[in-house]
Amino acid sequence: MATPNTPNPNTPRAVEITVGYKALSPNQKDRLEKIEVNPAEGDAPPWDALTEYQTVGTDVDRTDGMQKATGRAKYAYDISFPDLQQAMILRAPIARGILKSLYLDEARAMPGISAVVALKKDGSKIRLVGDAVAAVSGKTLDMVRDAIEKIRADYEAEQHNVDYLMDEEAPMLDANGQLDEEWDEDSKVDKALADATHTHTGTYRTEVQTHSSLETHGNTCRWDGNNLEVWASTQATFGVQGELARGLGAHNVKVESVDVHAEFVGGGFGSKFSAGIEGLACALLAHAAKLPVKLMLDRHEEHTAAGNRPSALMQVRGGIDKNGKITAWDWRSFGGCGYNGRGGAVRYPNYYMGDAATRRKHKDIACDTDPARSMRAPGYPQGWFGAEMFLDELAAKASMDPLAFRLKNDSEAMRLDQWQFAADKFGWDKARAKKNDANARYVTGVGCASARWGQLGRHGGRRQSYGVTCRIHPDGMVEARNGSQDIGTGLKTVLQILTAEELGIPASRVRGVTGHTSDPLGPASGGSTTTPSIAPAVRHAAFLAKNKLIALVAAHLGVPEGDVTCANDKVGTKNAKLDFTEACKLVGQTPIEVHGERYPNYRDKPFHPGVCGAQFAEVRVDTWTGEVQVTRMFGIQDCGLVIAKKLAESQVIGAMIQGVSYAVHEQRIMDQRSGRMLNGDFLRYKITGSKDLPDIECHMHSVANGHNNTGAAGLGEPPSTATAAAIGNAVFHAIGAPVRHIPITPEKVLAAIASK
């Protein structure tokens, strides 16, 4: 059991705690300081930098790992019932236009078809190739396909555009792909550039990246009167519950009449917050058929109609003084969005700018494709690629080492420690000093980039805070339950570890349960909010349950409650202890059941308002073919308190793998004439495979921020911001010329080499 800084079981209104972290390496100093916080009355006492842990921060195995490895885990795709109907969506073949008429009767009359529903009315707009028009359910997918062929849909096609850079509002590019437009005047920035010792301008591009989750979007739906039960592949159980209730209002469906299950989800990366048209279609088909229905998207639909990370075009110009400090930063960017014209905004690492004169302009440009959806740090990987590459080019103009340049300009003290620690572990100085033979076919290079996010969790909505149910059963087993979904990041294991820590028992005694809207309210899995939002409620629930168990044991032993502790799988005093299982027998037939609450973060300023990290990459470039191979990477990442070390490392490594894929492989290819995506499958849409992977190592940096009783912070997104930029900079170092457009394909590498 963790030993908090204050032993008082009743949290006082004001508590002094120690925040910060101990030195990352012997040549660094501890960054620890004392602050006073004011927890909510009745909350669990806050853990801090001096807390000693038994289970938190250790290599606990994923609690549902064996279920997943053996196939016992049931995903939305695996749910089955007698008479389960299969379903598919009819999608528009044109990129832009009007649905003139829709005839469904012939499809309804086909053998084995249980329901056909229209998803658009006559006169509705068609917004992309793949826009949902109608849906069909039947006994088998083959029967459904045959019925879809019988649907007659007439369209009036309009002129379309699937390339945002061909839009009339797009900026002008020169023959080399560089943005070729004058900058608007800005007296402050213009003066700073004129006074700078070194200046530079560069244009950078990123392409669309699809989510490519292992499990596609979809649902299985079953009605019982006006009550709807849904097994969904989703990142937002409660969001889907509310969305379907609103969408099915004509059927007298209320929020409490919809029960959503998502105990196992095969990834989402930001694309699965909404029930989507597929969710509504599945529910409508099941209602019309009066039978359970399953509707799961196929891989082509997933690539073309389920969202993406949008493309971006960025140009930055900047200047530094004679000491290498950035004095000017001028940024303009354009987001390549889908038909709704939103979601393409990009970010850049403003912690490098200090007192520099800065300006930022952005414009989203629509085209007739699938709209953007949030994808693992929306806008950050694009912007970080442009900004961090620009920093390396600017450093090169000043003949400065890129890491030394960052150390001089990075304003975040915590990352300065991370930079130096990671550089030593990676072997930066030696790798950077290595010279490539001028005539060598294979050359190597190294690069670095920073990581950043800002999520410390939240307590819930305006009307209800997030909560956790903790049950201590008479047989010594414990449950921790929350209705949020575990999308593969390990939320069940987080519930397990935190509960075990508070009760002083092995993690194996705790079962974490997630993904059912019948359990307490939880957040959507987005913005790296889930763990930092739920963790304090888990602790509070376990804390309350522990106090109830302590009361029973104290009465049994005839000692004051204040003398009883839970630790090392025992409950009692120094002189009289019960094994935890023996103590639980005192519970009787009815389990101890409590509801823990997620209180707002402390109003006091945390040690660090977000999270940060750094990554280093090494590449090997074939100068004859232009092929880039990422050979090794090292990353360091803070996520507040590291709760599950093995899972945290998995999150960082997974983000780096996705970053390799983004930097070197992934690109959506659109046919301008038809408006179709030409590579909407894994045969032609290349993602990183096992043979493409570098040696990856990461170090988790546990930090006590002191912002709530647990101190967890977001992790899903921050490590994804840095990887593509670090790889781009490594290629620049290897070949001596920047490749400013990802994916970094062989033809771009050869063109960059030729440009020298």
- In angstroms, the CA 174 to CA 183 distance is 15
Q: Give start and end residues of each alpha helix (H) in 29-73.
A: 65-70
Tokens of 540: 């509070």
- In angstroms, the CA 529 to CA 721 distance is 16
Evaluate whether the domain defined by 370-455+607-755 bears CATH number 2.60.120.10. no
What's residue 8's pLDDT?
Answer: 45
What's residue 6's pLDDT?
Answer: 42
Tokens of 202: 């560069």
Instruction: Supply the DSSP symbol for 709.
Output: S
Phi-psi region of 343 (alpha: psi -120 to 50; beta: other; left: phi over 0): left
What's residue 3's pLDDT?
Answer: 62
Where do the structural domains in the chain lie, given as residue ranges? Answer: 83-182, 370-455+607-755
What's residue 461's pLDDT?
Answer: 74
What's residue 4's pLDDT?
Answer: 54
Q: For residues 671 and 736, is the Cβ–Cβ distance under 8 A?
A: no
CATH no. for 83-182:
3.90.1170.50
pLDDT along the chain (756 residues), means of 10: 53 84 96 95 97 97 96 96 98 98 98 98 98 98 98 98 96 91 97 98 98 97 97 98 95 94 97 97 98 98 97 98 98 97 97 98 98 97 98 98 98 97 98 94 98 93 90 98 97 98 98 98 96 98 98 98 97 97 97 97 90 98 98 98 97 98 98 98 95 97 97 96 98 98 98 94
- In angstroms, the CA 171 to CA 194 distance is 25
- In angstroms, the CA 707 to CA 393 distance is 38
Q: What DSSP line would sit under 228-246, residue for residue?
A: EEEEE--S-HHHHHHHHHH
Spacing of C-alpha 632 from chain mean position: 23
The 3-class secondary structure across 281-311, one letter per residue, is HHHHHHHHHCCCEEEECCHHHHHHHCCEECE
User: Do the domains at 83-182 and 370-455+607-755 have one common CATH topology?
Assistant: no
